[in-house]
Amino acid sequence: MEYINTIILLIAFLILYFLIKNMLPSYFGEKGKNLATKQDITDITEKVESVKQIFTAQNEKLKFNLQFLTSSQLGLYQEERNAIIDYNQKLAIWINVLTNSDFAGIDTKSSLEIEEYKKLISNSYSDLLESEAKFKLFVDNSELTNQADNLKILILDKLCDIANSCLIELKYNNINLERSGNDTEKLHDERMTFHDNYNKSIVENITLIAPVIREFRKNCKDYLYRLIKTTEQSH
């Protein structure tokens, strides 16, 4: 009986041995694989999240840079637009001062008012030059800036001397009137001649300049429309 029990016990140990030898390593191997797989997934997930964070940060930085560049570009477009409008306004004022038929209604018998009008001519030209500096700084169109230069030179050549010369003649006529005795009719006729010659010269020369002015304004207008379209496309 004890012999049989010993054999049964031995068989039980053998079975247990084979179970431990064959099944447990397989179990722990699978368990290890599962643990390794979970660890790999964790590592991969962490790497993916890290890459996503880097990508998101780079994307936000890129978006910020693009927004900054767009905003800067729109700001330049606005400055360019303002420079064109301001230059045309200053140009119109300067031309009007030079070609006003009665010198804006001043009393041409007053030497003081004549001097004030001469200052007005000088100041309007100074304002134009100041506007021109901004015009050339912001307007990115050499054809337009060259056209502005040529127009300014043409006006200086054809109109500036006419107004200033007439004002100087009127001033000296005033001095002669103050000094004269009874011979004032001749001086008054002389004044009328100054005015007539001034107006004829203005009409003659503005007729030559007017087409150039119209062309310049048209080109400015067309360029402004292109700027507006470019600005709308940038939004």
Q: Model pTM?
A: 0.67
Q: How far apart are CA 108 and CA 101, in angstroms?
A: 12
CA 231 to chain centre: 10
CB 220 within 8 A of CB 144: yes
Task: Give Cα separations from 133 to 44, 78, 86 (angstroms).
Answer: 61, 16, 11
Q: How far apart are CA 129 and CA 142, in angstroms?
A: 17
List per-residue pLDDT tens for the chain, 235 residues long: 444 455 555 555 555 555 555 555 555 555 555 554 655 556 556 655 654 565 455 555 545 454 544 455 557 788 899 999 999 999 999 999 999 988 878 888 888 999 999 999 999 999 999 999 999 999 989 999 999 999 999 999 999 899 888 888 888 888 888 787 656 778 778 888 888 888 899 999 999 999 999 999 999 999 998 888 876 665 5
CB 164 within 8 A of CB 121: yes
Give buried/exposed letters for 5-35 (b at 16+ CB in 10 A, else e). eeeeeeeeeeeeeeeeeeeeeeeeeeeeeee
Residues 6+ apart with CB under 8 A from 232: none
E strands in 102-152: none
